[in-house]
Homo-oligomer: A and B are copies of this chain.
Amino acid sequence: MLDTPTQAQAPGRPADDRVGIWLVGGRGSIGTTVAVGLHVIANELAAPTGCTTAGDAFVGVPLPRFADLVLGGHDISATPLVRRAGQLADSGMIPPRLVAAAQAGLEQADREIRPGYDPATHEGAQADAVHRLAADITGFRARHGLRTVVVVDVASTEAIPEDRPEFHDPDLLTQVLADPDGVLLPASVITALAAIESGSGYACFTPSAAMTLPSVRALADARGIVFAGQDGKTGETLLRTAIAPMFVARGMHVHSWAGANLLGGGDGATLADPEAVRSKLASKTRGLRSLVGEHVVAPLHIDNVPDLGDIKTAWDHIHAEGFLGSRITMQTIWSAYDSMLAAPLILDLARLLALAERAGVRGVVPELGFFFKDPWGSDVHDFSQQTTELHAWAHATAARVAATTTTSGQSEAFGR
């Protein structure tokens, strides 16, 4: 057991609170890290360091235990998790001894990964794809006797699609889906529709179209699933939303906030595509403008530097004006394995959405904006304010669960 401040013995949970995490892109860098991490944490071979929900602020909140989380997913890659994990160990990202310890868990999770929806090879009506994906999820739920499943989209970032009428009208969308010659929808939309059809919780960790399309969103609301998004806030943007409010609170005027990001790995290669990177860049700057003002000059670059592997390095240069026009400059340099920042948030999102569903919450959960660059249902980007809201929401939701729970056995479940 690592020595971390956030580790604590989880109190008993109801035997029936087993929850599925269905990762779309489950064989990617994040997916693989989640799989290794979940296994070693559930087996108490590692502390849940980096998991927000393992912190003291969540004591008393009846989240599913790590050991009650079950992994499955979709991917269009056939590289087995064990192999991918080995690569990530060789690259220095995951400690080899943890990969070795997680071998059985990886093999088991890998057996639950089904072929994803691949726009490049798809034939026939897209509705069929949605049905197939949804059936994979409901089958998984049944097979493992899960109370609920949370679908998390961690597939490769897509290009921003050109706007189309079916993005705005659910009926048109249904028509396009049914038409074997219908214009292809982005893969992230197919994923979201499968989550809706299967009645799962859903979290969008990518900056892709997904449930941002009004027609898809309408279907989600109609079906009453619980969901949150969008685009995991893990590195540079996390920092920015922690730091920017400081300048504002002190009456300083932020003139410019420039950023340079260097990364390799799978995400680096994807973002080398100028189309794919556009959605990411937009998502990263929005929060900044909302915090320090629209006037801010904020050039931002993401460069694919393959030799850096999975370590992402971000340099930010901030110029603020202070008293009597004086110049204040601040620079930040952030360096971390990107997937190591993302993976614990996937576990957090699954636990929190599972809690929400247990409490009967439906629709978007704005308080989960804490996890996202582009929070759905919320204009709050200030990380500290998001923290306060998340904690309050978790305890309020816990209270709702408690209010609907009467047996003494279940009340024991509270805690971490």
Contact = CB atoms under 8 A, between A and B. Distances in A.
Interface of A: 2, 4-6, 33, 36-37, 40, 46, 48-55, 57, 92-96, 98, 238-239, 242-243, 245-246, 248-253, 255-256, 258, 260, 262, 293, 297, 299, 301, 303-308, 313, 315, 317, 319, 321-337, 340-341, 343-344, 370, 382-385, 387
A383 B340 contact: no
Nearest to A94: B324
Contacts of A370: 249
Tell me if A's interface is mostly helix, strand, loop or mixed: mixed
B307 A255 contact: yes
Given A256-B305, A305-B256, A238 B248 contact: no
Contacts of A5: 253, 293
A337 B303 CA distance: 25
B245 A243 contact: no
B387 A324 contact: no
Given A330-B239, A384-B382, A52 B308 contact: no
A346 to B, nearest CB: 10
Contact of A317 (B48, B258, B313): B313
A352 to B, nearest CB: 13
10 contacts: A51-B323, A242-B246, A249-B387, A258-B260, A260-B260, A305-B319, A327-B337, A328-B341, A329-B334, A330-B335
Contacts of A57: 249
Contacts of A258: 260, 262, 303, 305
**Smallest CB-CB A-B distances: 5 pairs:** A384-B384, A255-B307, A50-B323, A326-B340, A299-B303
A196 to B, nearest CB: 30
